[in-house]
Amino acid sequence: MIYDKQNIFAKILRKEIPCNKVYENDYVLAFHDVNPQKKLHILLIPKGEYLNLDDFNEKATDKEIIEFNKAISHIVKLLKLSNEGYRILSNIGNNGGQEVLHLHYHIFGGEKIGPMVTK
């Protein structure tokens, strides 16, 4: 599979499409989802061109991987989600429900999330 440089997250990274930014550093960008599924719904994306978590773990530098994971903790602290709890989700591939072929994590919080997977 080839990375599509015209996907929505690539356009957001190039600032062709605006976002409501929560956090950014040299490696990641986090912003509010425009169609939130919960009270708080943040998207975390790496700045590199990675299709999904498998692609990221195979091709990213150790620094990119570390910074991506550290960003989760930073965002959770920034949004004061640590005490109440939160959920992190990444959909991978067709069967996993991935809609945009750029690695992204959904960070949900601010309310009770409910069961892990519904039937």
Q: Is the pLDDT of residue 103 over 90?
A: yes
> What does the domain layout of the chain look like in residue ranges?
8-109
pTM: 0.94
Interval 5-39: pLDDT, tens: 999 999 999 999 999 999 999 999 999 999 999 99
Q: 8-109 belongs to which homologous superfamily?
A: HIT-like (3.30.428.10)
Q: Is the pLDDT of residue 118 over 90?
A: no
Q: Is the pLDDT of residue 1 over 90?
A: no
Catalytic positions are: 104
Cα–Cα distance measured from residue 86 to residue 108, given in angstroms and rounded to the nearest whole number: 6
Q: Whole-number mean pLDDT of the chain?
A: 95
Over residues 39-61, the mean pLDDT reads 97
Q: Are 36 and 19 in contact (CB under 8 A)?
A: no
